[in-house]
Amino acid sequence: MNDTIVAISTACGQGAISIVRLTGDDAVEIVNKAFRGKNLNKVPTHTINYGKIIDNGEVVDEVMVSILRAPKTYTKEDVVEINCHGGAYVTQKVLEVMLKNGARMAEPGEFTKRAFINGRIDLTQAEAVMDMIDAKTKESLKMANMALRGDVFNLIDKLRAKLLNCIAKIEVNIDYPEYEDEEQITQNSLKPILIEVKDELKKLIEKSEISQIIKDGVNTVIIGKPNVGKSSLLNGILREKKAIVTNIAGTTRDTVEGRVNLGGIVLNLVDTAGIRETSDVVEKIGVEKSLDAIEKADLVMLVFDNSQELTKEDLLLLEKTKDKNRVIIVNKSDLEKKLNLENLGDYILMSALNENDICILEEKIKEMYKIGNISEIDATYISNSRQIGKLHEAMNSINDALEGVYSGQVVDMINIDISMAWKALGDIVGANASDSLINELFSKFCLGK
Ligand code: GDP
């Protein structure tokens, strides 16, 4: 028996319509108690019904009520949606009437959690619901849709089935050694299966890195000495004046953030204080932040000034970023060249004040990430850190199992690693999810979802 929960499912604030949603065994009855119109207990399922919500004999609102009876609903339980007028007060009032009549206030994500617990969706689909709400680009929305359709689930399920088949056979061998006509599993028979699973996991991990970029964006930091044109570059890319631009060295003292969609890849841009030796305490914090930002960045845009010679700070930055994904930008191409461009490697000579040059830079970045058209990429994406972490866990266990095969370990021992890989993959789809994991995941949802 599921208690009945209720929440306002639409965004807070004024709008044309707000939806108060209920799910649970008594959802219809609870609404019916406050409903003047048809008897909702008797209306056919999947209908929308006109009437009024009444409290203490007074009309609270004129509403349309959708009656959706189990099991063909979002939660697989009875669901009722009350479409009321979109004022904040009236919506709140309808909610209160439902609470008074016996519903309990839902926790964030509890509707989707019920959909998961009742087996309508797996964990990857539940997470896709959240990704869909968070989607910032067409591509990330598309990816969430694929996951919601069950593509991720199907893929993981196939891998799990392969592993489970091995586990089952090994266990039969152990438990019933007398069954001689049963296939005897040996290291040699396990090897090709484990190699196949390993290859598929490897591909999936590689693809998941691209998916994560599509979903979360590339954390991009713009660094360089003061006055080389970092803020101008940021503004050029953002096409708005977000960072303050001046010609006094050291004006941008803190990080400024902005987001830009480059043909499907979101750059999360951070402009940092210029790097230079300084006695100014405030700016020193900024400089440390820059070095810290390099550490954390996925992509570094390192800016030099074409009209100045390279200094030891520039060389320090070149050194600090040498192992990062970076674009070297030689800015102020319109000014007379004083910079020695030798030893810089691959660089772009441009002006941050020239829109055309900004476009060339953007093309270069797009090319670096080679995301291309998402519809051409295989539709199986794993894009959240939790799921990717589990893929790595599964990969480690498969590697251990293969190691066992190569070193001639007994099959029972190898089976332990195979089982661990199977379990890690199960965690992705929520096959054996613990209550605490489920609670943690769903608490990140919006209320009413
Ligand atoms: P930051 O300290 O590195 O953020 O540098 P700013 O973006 O504040 O730019 C410093 C100065 O250089 C400003 O006066 C800008 O207008 C100027 N500047 C930026 N880019 C260019 C460029 O491509 N050409 C020229 N001539 N000036 C530029």
Q: Do 358 and 227 fall within a single domain? A: yes
State which residues form the domain around 271. Answer: 216-373
Residue whose Cα lies nearest atom 11 of ligand 1: it is: 247
Q: Do 238 and 362 fall within a single domain? A: yes
pLDDT of residue 290: 66
Q: How far is CA 86 from the centre of its chain?
A: 30
Q: Do 187 and 317 fall within a single domain? A: no
Residue 224 CA, closest ligand 1 atom number: 3
Residue that is last in its domain, among 373, 401, 422: 373
- The pLDDT of 171-199, averaged and rounded, is 85
The count of structural domains within the chain is 3
Q: Do 260 and 359 fall within a single domain? A: yes
Burial string for 299-321 (b: 16+ CB within 10 Å, else e) reads bbbbbbbbbeebeebbeebbebb
Q: Whole-angstrom Cα distance, residue 240 to residue 311?
A: 31
pLDDT of residue 342: 78
Q: Whole-angstrom Cα distance, residue 373 to residue 215?
A: 14
Asked whether residue 360 is assigned to any structural domain, the reply reads yes
Residue whose Cα lies nearest atom 17 of ligand 1: it is: 229
Asked whether residue 125 is assigned to any structural domain, the reply reads no
Pocket test residue of 223, 227, 349, 354 for ligand 1, highest count of atoms within 8 A of CB: 227
Q: Do 252 and 354 fall within a single domain? A: yes
Residue that is last in its domain, among 329, 355, 373: 373
Beta bridge partners, 299, equal: 220
pLDDT surpasses 90 at 4? yes
Residue that is last in its domain, among 66, 86, 117: 117
Asked whether residue 127 is assigned to any structural domain, the reply reads no
Asked whether residue 131 is assigned to any structural domain, the reply reads no
Residues with CB under 6 A from ligand 1: 224, 226-232, 245-247, 252, 274, 331-332, 334-335, 351-353
pLDDT tens digits, 372-424: 544 444 445 676 778 888 999 999 999 999 999 999 999 999 999 999 999 99
State the CATH number of the domain containing residue 232: 3.40.50.300
Asked whether residue 154 is assigned to any structural domain, the reply reads yes
State the CATH number of the domain containing residue 437: 1.20.120.430
Gap from CA of 149 to ligand 1 centroid (Å):
48
Asked whether residue 126 is assigned to any structural domain, the reply reads no
Question: What rounded mean pLDDT belongs to the chain?
Answer: 83
Query: What are the distances in angstroms from CA 444 to CA 129, 183, 304?
Result: 11, 47, 42
- The pLDDT of 190-198, averaged and rounded, is 95
Residue whose Cα lies nearest atom 18 of ligand 1: it is: 229
Q: Do 421 and 280 fall within a single domain? A: no
Q: Do 257 and 231 fall within a single domain? A: yes
Q: Do 351 and 225 fall within a single domain? A: yes
State the CATH number of the domain containing residue 14: 3.30.1360.120
Q: Do 280 and 301 fall within a single domain? A: yes
Asked whether residue 326 is assigned to any structural domain, the reply reads yes
pLDDT surpasses 50 at 362? yes
pLDDT surpasses 60 at 320? yes
Gap from CA of 348 to ligand 1 centroid (Å):
16
pLDDT surpasses 50 at 95? yes
Asked whether residue 128 is assigned to any structural domain, the reply reads no
Residue whose Cα lies nearest atom 12 of ligand 1: it is: 229
pLDDT tens digits, 96-144: 999 999 999 998 889 998 998 898 888 888 888 877 777 777 777 777 7
Burial string for 349-360 (b: 16+ CB within 10 Å, else e) reads bbbbbeeebbee
Over the Cα atoms of the chain, what is R_g? 29
SS3 214: helix
Pocket test residue of 222, 225, 235, 245 for ligand 1, highest count of atoms within 8 A of CB: 245
Pocket test residue of 225, 230, 232 for ligand 1, highest count of atoms within 8 A of CB: 232
Triad 73, 74, 76: Cα angle to 5° = 55
Query: What are the distances in angstroms from CA 128 to CA 132, 203, 229?
Result: 6, 21, 40
Q: Do 229 and 248 fall within a single domain? A: yes
Q: Do 70 and 198 fall within a single domain? A: no
Q: With residue 199 as reference, give the H or E element that holds it.
A: helix 187-216
Q: Do 178 and 285 fall within a single domain? A: no
Residue whose Cα lies nearest atom 24 of ligand 1: it is: 332
